[in-house]
Structure 1
Amino acid sequence: MKRKICVVTGTRAEYGLLSNLMRAIQQSTDFKLQLTVTGMHLSTEFGLTYNQIESDGFVIEEKVEMLLSSDTSTGVAKSIGLATIGFSDAFQRLKPDLLIILGDRYEMLAAAQTALVMQIPIAHIHGGECTFGAYDDAIRHSITKMATWHFTSTESHRNRVIQLGENPERVWNVGAIGIENILNLPLMTKKELYANLQLNMEKPLFLITFHPETNLQTEGIYPLLKALDSYPHVNLVFTKANADNGGRQINEILENYTLKHDNAYLFDSLGQLGYLSAVKEATVVIGNSSSGLIEIPYLETPTVNCGERQAGREKPGSVFDCTLEVQSIENAIKSALMYKGPYDQIFGDGHVVEKIMTELKKILSFAIQKEFYDI
């Protein structure tokens, strides 16, 4: 009998990272995929991206509604509570043998704590990383302690998971899962991309994604936009912020900005193909998304990393850090535009799904019991 593996996804970016693994589970003779969708996927405000998941050929077993219209800290905390209730009902119906969670968002915290109480074993992807500018850091390490098996993106991240008391025999450095998409997905040509996004073919492209720093305020978007005012000859392509504390406020600011600037474009979601194609054609990627540090260098595009949201992460030399001040951002953009390489590939060779599937098949019994591993 196939063992049931439940994969949870709550954001467009996360789905893009997980899609190849989901397909491998779906096609496996050993496992049955149970897909649970939550968070922004189910929100009209964020593009109802569950439709993209279904059009990609996946069957969504459960939809867990959780997002409130508020993105205050109180609203997010209440959304976690709603998610916990929803996941408890979904997991009771699905009865999965294993839950796979990626990353560090609050939706995944709700899924993990529900699975822990319901005695559903957890495998965690991208543990052991640090992001000092967001409360995601604490969520990520909390999920590590609730999970039994761990798939990290670098050896230093693997060591950090072990430092948290996890048995080395259940922690594997497989590399960053998003690299596989970059190496295997046929991307759009510049002509196709520009036509799809209705951009000016005569102008270069900046790709911008700015999320709120959940430990700080959202005012950092203002100096970023001020710095971008210096580039009227560039297509400024923005993707919306996540549903974090202050995310809706940032999106409202971006909507107003794009209405006043005919070279600025705002998208709910570009989709995996659109996003990676835009990265490939961009002269620089700007913002504070983790993809700028992990996946973007593999497409040989420089990154301007704004603020403290990703502080603590490993990053290659093609990433230029700046503070959330106009002059600092302008200087970082200028440095990035002059950068010619090298583009260090520090997050593995891209054969991540194969490595994860190999280890999952070796696990004879999915169990939740584990001991604390003392170094």
Structure 2
Amino acid sequence: MNRTICVVTGSRSEYGLLLPLMKRILEDNDLCLQIIATGMHLSNEFGLTYREIENDGFFINEKIETLLAADTPTGIIKSMGLGLIGFADAFNRLKPDILVVLGDRYEIMVAVQAAMIYSIPIAHIHGGEITEGAIDDSIRHAISKMSHLHFVSTSAYRDRVIQLGEQPERVFNVGAIGVDNIIELELLDRQKFEESIQFTLGEQNFLITYHPVTLSDSNSDMLITELLAALDCFPEARIVFTKPNSDADGRIISQKIDEYVQRNTERAISFTSLGQLRYLSALQHMDVIIGNSSSGIIEVPLFNKPTVNIGSRQTGRIKGPSVIDCGESRKDIAEAIVQAISGSFREGNTKANLSLYGNGNTSARIKDVLKCVNVKGIVRKKFHDIHPNRGEE
């Protein structure tokens, strides 16, 4: 009897990372792939990206609506409640052998909560990481504690998951799954990329990926205004924006980006979703990537490109020398961009460092574990105490 692996995806970026794993599960005759699409995938505002999943040849078993019109904390909490009800019904129908989730978003946490009550074994990808500037940090660790198999991207993150009390034999250091796409996808050359986005790049090009800083003392309106003001210091640069996720205040940032593009139609363009192929293709044609996304830390360095990492959202994540951390003021951001595009920095600090997040083949390694692991009794977790005798001293 085939083992059923259910993958939950709620956002475009997460799906792009999961894509190679989903393909490998689908191609394995001993495994049966189930897919649940939720969150931003089902929202017209965020591009109805569930269509990308279907266009890639996958069948979506369940679509679970979660997003409400508001992106306030109240609206997000209500979305989580709506999602929990939907996942309860979905798992009752699908009854998967293993649930696979990635990352740290709130719709993923409610999926895991429902699966935990159903005693479905949960496999979590990208646990053990630290992002002190966002509530994602707490969500990620909570998901780890509800999960039974852990696929982490570095040895330091493996140690941290074990420190949370997880059994070492169930924590696998497989590298970052995003590396697989960089190695395996045939990326678009400059001409094809420009045709795909209907926008002509210039001599200097910036890619902006900026998300709400959910634990910041400053408001999103002010923070995005500072970033956009910094970009005005580089009037010759062509700018490609990818819009934020559905976190609190995400719509404020999107609105400010739209207004900026309207004022700068000749040199700026924005996208709700570039999709994995166009996004990774964009990285190879940009001079600098600016924002506060994890991709600037994990994937971008593999293209020998610098990242300007703004503010505290990614504080605590392991970074290579091509990542420039800066403050949130327009002055700090502009100075960091100047440093990033300087010839001396690019020559000295943008050498690819695959050793930080692995050398690829991550999805194949995850698939092999999912296929072969003994799940009998796995949901009965035992806390692994790294100092078992300390209380007796």
The two structures have a TM-score, normalised by structure 2, of: 0.94
Give 1:342 shift.
2.4
Match of 2:372 in 1: 362
1-structure distance, mates of 2:57, 2:205: 31
Q: Select between 14-23 and 229-238 the one with higher mean Cα deviation.
A: 229-238
1-structure distance, mates of 2:140, 2:245: 17
Give 1:363 shift.
0.9
Amino acid of the structure 1 residue aligned with 2:373: I
CA contact (8 A) 2:150 2:172 kept: yes
Match of 2:224 in 1: 221
Match of 1:45 in 2: 45
Say if 2:384 is the partner of 1:373.
yes
Give 1:51 shift.
0.6
Give secondary structure in 1 for the equivalent of 2:352. Answer: coil
Match of 1:260 in 2: 263
Provide, for residues 72-130 of structure 1, a one-character-per-residue CA deviation record: whole Å limited to 9, x for no partner.
01111111100000111111110111100100000111101111111111000000000
Amino acid of the structure 1 residue aligned with 2:228: L
1-structure distance, mates of 2:257, 2:81: 29
Give 1:360 shift.
1.9
Match of 1:160 in 2: 160
1-structure distance, mates of 2:293, 2:201: 26
In structure 1, the gaps of 5 or more residues are none
Amino acid of the structure 1 residue aligned with 2:368: T
Q: Select between 197-206 and 98-107 the one with higher mean Cα deviation.
A: 197-206
Provide, for residues 318-356 of structure 1, a one-character-per-residue CA deviation record: whole Å limited to 9, x for no partner.
000111011110111111112223232210011101111
In structure 2, the gaps of 5 or more residues are 387-393
How many residue pairs end up in the alignment?
Answer: 375
Amino acid of the structure 1 residue aligned with 2:360: G
CA contact (8 A) 1:207 1:238 kept: yes
2-structure distance, mates of 1:160, 1:134: 18
Match of 1:101 in 2: 101
Say if 2:325 is the partner of 1:312.
no
The two structures have a TM-score, normalised by structure 1, of: 0.98
CA contact (8 A) 2:121 2:375 kept: no
CA RMSD of aligned residues (A): 1.0
Match of 1:127 in 2: 127
Match of 1:296 in 2: 300
Provide, for residues 152-177 of structure 1, a one-character-per-residue CA deviation record: whole Å limited to 9, x for no partner.
00000000000000010000100000
CA contact (8 A) 2:202 2:238 kept: no
Moved over 4 A (4+): none
2-structure distance, mates of 1:146, 1:192: 44
2-structure distance, mates of 1:198, 1:55: 21
CA contact (8 A) 2:244 2:253 kept: yes
Match of 2:206 in 1: 206
Give 1:299 shift.
1.3
Provide, for residues 170-223 of structure 1, a one-character-per-residue CA deviation record: whole Å limited to 9, x for no partner.
001000000000011000010111122222344432100110001122121111
Give secondary structure in 1 for the equivalent of 2:228. Answer: helix
2-structure distance, mates of 1:222, 1:54: 37
Selected match of 2:242 from 239, 242, 247: 239
Amino acid of the structure 2 residue aligned with 1:343: A
Say if 2:138 is the partner of 1:141.
no
CA contact (8 A) 1:306 1:323 kept: yes
2-structure distance, mates of 1:267, 1:150: 33
Give 1:362 shift.
2.5
2-structure distance, mates of 1:286, 1:70: 27
Give secondary structure in 2 for the equivalent of 1:60. Answer: coil
Match of 2:289 in 1: 285
